[in-house]
Every structure is written in structure tokens, then in C-alpha cells.
């Protein structure tokens, strides 16, 4: 059995912070941020919005889009690095909010590659016939983990959630490659915001996201195209056969560099980081939902999803729409 996406959804907070707003917080400029990252605005959670509330809203719109009732869902996996609460997990909170009484629910953390790892996990359950209908969600409130005094990181990130509904069927295609490179873990970190750390000072820099931006950049522009090429070779497919490459929306320059290294058609690499910034595990499903809602995805066509992030980790998935 293979899981096919039958519905997509997303939800972003109402609060909108443009680059001008960041200029009130750090020494930066709209021009610098747009040119170096491609980001113009990011949505920021306010007024009680939580990772679980965004995730549940994205899940509901995905179910609606797929014509699936909440009781039909057997499995909910949420990829997140910013669950808000450690217990109960975000997926159980989503279950409660949407009434998915029959679902088994757990979260998974593979940072910005998290949605791909969650998709792979759901596909494995479906392939074994254990479950038939799965909700795969990426949801983040990164603004909680962002050091708003650090101009080298705060310009990049935003909050949001995206979700897909997978239904098991006899036909379709799903293939993936994933890698983890633990020895590079120190390049992108965020120490747990627990009591011990608070004792050291709630504002200790290590309790916020810290990053060697150049190193992450170098990693992404070499590993992402490698993963895509490996996947296509493994599946004996050519780049021309892919309708869209839906890449993690970290930085416009990274996406453009991947296009160049692959020698691909840039029109096949949609981008939306201008509007949302990097929403970590939510970025791929938010973009996927936008393409779906615009009617750009056609049944029978192939898409590739690819991401990278803390760990460090990276991967790519090929699927028939």
C-alpha cells in the first residue's frame, strides 16, 4: 500500500512582522534581509495562539480539503521543534481539538527536515497495512525560540503550520532518501528551555536558536542537490519528469543555488519565504498547500519534496500526486 495525499491545509498566525518591525529590534535593514534571505515578512503568534492551535487548524482544513472525517484518521504525526508543552504532545492536543477519537498520536523532532521524516514514518505504517488514513503535520512557534536581539538569526524565522492527509491505496509512488550528520550538530542549536537552564538565566543565549549561518548555507547547497540526484537515480527518473520541487523555504539564495547545481528549470521551484520566513517543519506543507489550493498539482504528476535542518539532517521524497 502507498499513501497518497488527498487533502492539504495550513494555518499561520494573524500577527505579521515585516522587516521594518525587525529594524526596531536589531541593527538591520529591509534591503539587507530581502537580498540575503528573500524574506520580507513573517507571521508571529500572539494572543494565545499555540503550536497545537495552529496545527489543529491546519489539520482541519486538510481534512476538509480531502473530504475525510476526523473519526476516520488512524494516525497523527506532528513534526515540531517548538511544541510549547512537552506533555501532552502536540498530536494528542490536535486529536482532542479536532475530535480524531480513533487516532494514535505522537510527535517527532527532526528540525526543518521534520516534515519529511514524519511523512516517511506515516508512509511506513501505511505500507505495512497498520493504518489507512494519516494526518501528517508540521507546526512551529519559532518566535518562542528566537533571540530577538540576535540579527544573524531573528531575520530568518516565522511561525505557522501545514498538514496533509494521506490515504492508503494500491497505486501511486513514494520513495525517499534521508541522512543525519550528528557530528555537525553544533552548527545549529537550541538548548532545552528547562528549569536548569532558567537557573542559569532565562535569557542565556544558548536557550535560543544559535547558528553558524555560513556553515548551514554550505551544507544545504551541497547536500540538497545530492539527495535529489540520488533519489531520482535510485528511482530511474529524470529531472524533466518532475512537475515541482518543493524545497524547505529557508533562504531564497539556497533555493536558487540548488536550481543551478541541478541544472533545473527555476519555474519548477516555487517559493514563499518572502511571506513566511523559515517556518522549519511547517515550511514544506505550507508551500504544498498553496500549490494545491492554486490548482497547480495534477493527479499522476510527480513532485519532489526536499529539506535540511538542525541535526544536521537532510532528505528528499518523491511522490505521485
Q: Which residues are catalytic?
A: 112, 248, 278
| Shortest spacing between CB 155 and ligand COA, in angstroms | 5
Q: Under rule CB under 6 A, how many of the chain's residues touch ligand COA?
A: 20
DSSP 22-89: HHTTSS--HHHHHHHH---EEE---TT--HHHHHHHHHHHHHHHHT--GGG--EEEEE-S--SSSSS-
Dihedral sign computed on CA atoms, order 105, 11, 270, 216: negative
Report if residue 316 touches ligand COA, rule: CB under 6 A.
no
Binding to ligand COA (CB under 6 A) within 15-34 occurs at: 28, 32-33
Q: Which of 55, 110, 247, 250 binds ligand COA (CB under 6 A)?
A: 250
Which of residues 21, 149, 214, 233 is near ligand COA by CB under 6 A? 214
Least distance to ligand COA from the beta carbon of 289, Å? Answer: 20
Give yes or no for a contact between 79 and 115, defined as CB atoms under 8 angstroms apart. yes
User: Where would I find the beta strands (DSSP E) of the chain?
Assistant: 2-11, 16-18, 41-43, 75-79, 104-108, 133-141, 159-169, 174-180, 188-189, 210-211, 242-247, 302-309, 313-320
Based on CB atoms, which residue is closest to ligand COA, 78 or 281?
281
Residue number with the shortest CB distance to ligand COA?
213
Q: Starting from the edge strand earliest in sequence, which strands make up the sheet with 313-320, in order?
A: 174-180, 313-320, 302-309, 242-247
3-state secondary structure of 133: strand
Question: Which range in 60-68, 126-134, 149-157, 172-180 contacts ligand COA by CB under 6 A?
Answer: 149-157
d(CA 245, CA 7): 19
CA 76 to chain centre: 16
Q: Which of residues 66-125 bind ligand COA (CB under 6 A)?
A: 112
Q: Which three cell numbers stand for residue 21?
A: 518591525
Select the residue interacting with ligand COA from 251, 289, 313, 317 (CB under 6 A). 251
Pick the piece of the chain touching ligand COA (CB under 6 A) from 121-129, 159-167, 171-179, 214-222: 214-222
Specify burial of residue 35 (Cβ count, 10 A radius: 0-12, 13-18, 19+).
exposed
**What CA–CA distance (Å, rounded) separates 121 from 45?**
28
Q: Please, which residue, 72 or 152, has the CB nearer to ligand COA?
A: 152
Sign of the Cα pseudo-torsion (81, 6, 175, 234, in order): negative
Q: Judged by CB under 6 A, does residue 151 bind ligand COA?
A: yes
- Helix (H) / strand (E) element for 117: namely helix 114-127
Report the nearest approach of ligand COA to the CB of residue 112 (Å): 4
> Quick check: 217 binds ligand COA (CB under 6 A)?
yes
- Regarding 36 and contact with ligand COA (CB under 6 A), the answer is yes
The stretch near ligand COA (CB under 6 A) out of 209-217, 221-229, 230-238, 258-266 is 209-217
User: Which residues are 45's β-sheet partners?
Assistant: none
Q: Mapping DSSP to helix (H, G, I), strand (E, B) and coil, where does residue 255 land?
A: helix
What nine digits make up the cell of 93? 492536543
Residue among 63 and 188 whose Cβ is closer to ligand COA: 188
Among 13, 38, 309, 315, indicate the residue that binds ligand COA (CB under 6 A): 309
Sole binder of ligand COA in the list 25, 211, 271, 296 (CB under 6 A)? 211
C-alpha cell at 17: 512582522
Q: Which of 90, 98, 166, 216 binds ligand COA (CB under 6 A)?
A: 216
Q: Residue from 197, 210, 213, 235 that binds ligand COA (CB under 6 A)?
A: 213
Work out how close the CB of 218 gets to ligand COA at its nearest, in angstroms, rounded to a whole number: 9
- Which residues make up the interface to ligand COA (CB under 6 A)? 28, 32-33, 36-37, 112, 151-152, 155-156, 188, 211, 213-214, 216-217, 250-251, 278, 309
Amino acid at each position: 500500500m502507498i499513501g497518497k495525499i488527498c487533502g492539504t491545509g495550513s494555518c499561520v498566525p494573524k500577527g505579521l512582522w515585516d522587516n521594518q518591525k525587525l529594524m526596531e529590534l536589531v541593527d538591520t535593514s529591509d534591503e539587507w534581509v530581502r537580498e540575503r534571505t528573500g524574506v520580507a515578512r513573517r507571521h508571529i503568534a500572539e494572543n494565545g495562539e499555540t503550536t497545537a492551535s495552529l496545527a489543529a487548524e491546519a489539520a482541519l482544513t486538510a481534512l476538509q480539503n480531502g473530504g475525510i472525517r476526523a473519526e476516520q484518521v488512524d494516525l497523527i504525526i506532528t513534526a515540531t521543534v517548538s511544541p510549547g508543552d512537552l506533555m501532552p504532545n502536540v498530536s494528542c492536543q490536535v486529536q482532542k481539538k479536532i475530535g480524531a477519537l480513533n487516532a494514535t498520536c505522537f510527535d517527532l523532532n527532526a528540525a526543518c527536515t521534520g516534515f519529511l521524516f514524519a511523512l516517511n514514518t506515516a508512509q511506513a505504517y501505511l505500507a505495512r497495512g497498520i493504518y489507512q488514513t494519516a494526518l501528517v503535520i508540521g507546526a512551529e512557534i519559532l518566535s518562542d525560540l528566537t533571540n530577538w536581539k540576535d540579527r544573524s538569526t531573528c531575520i530568518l524565522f516565522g511561525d505557522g503550520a501545514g498538514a496533509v492527509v494521506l490515504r492508503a491505496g494500491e497505486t501511486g509512488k513514494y520513495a525517499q532518501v534521508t541522512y543525519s550528520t550528528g557530528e555537525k550538530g553544533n552548527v545549529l542549536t537550541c538548548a532545552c528551555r528547562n528549569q536548569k537552564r532558567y537557573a542559569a538565566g532565562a535569557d542565556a543565549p544558548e536557550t535560543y536558536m544559535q547558528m553558524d549561518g555560513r556553515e548551514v548555507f554550505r551544507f544545504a547547497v551541497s547536500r540538497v542537490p545530492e539527495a535529489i540526484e540520488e533519489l531520482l537515480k535510485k528511482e530511474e527518473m529524470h529531472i524533466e519528469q518532475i512537475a515541482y520541487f518543493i524545497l524547505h523555504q529557508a533562504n531564497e539564495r539556497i533555493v536558487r543555488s540548488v536550481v543551478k547545481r541541478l541544472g533545473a528549470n527555476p519555474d519548477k521551484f516555487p517559493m514563499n519565504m518572502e511571506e513566511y520566513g523559515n517556518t522549519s517543519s511547517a515550511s514544506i506543507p505550507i508551500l504544498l498547500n498553496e500549490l494545491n489550493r492554486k490548482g497547480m498539482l495534477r493527479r499522476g504528476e510527480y513532485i519532489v519534496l526536499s529539506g535540511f535542518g538542525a541535526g544536521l539532517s537532510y532528505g528528499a521524497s518523491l511522490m505521485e500526486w
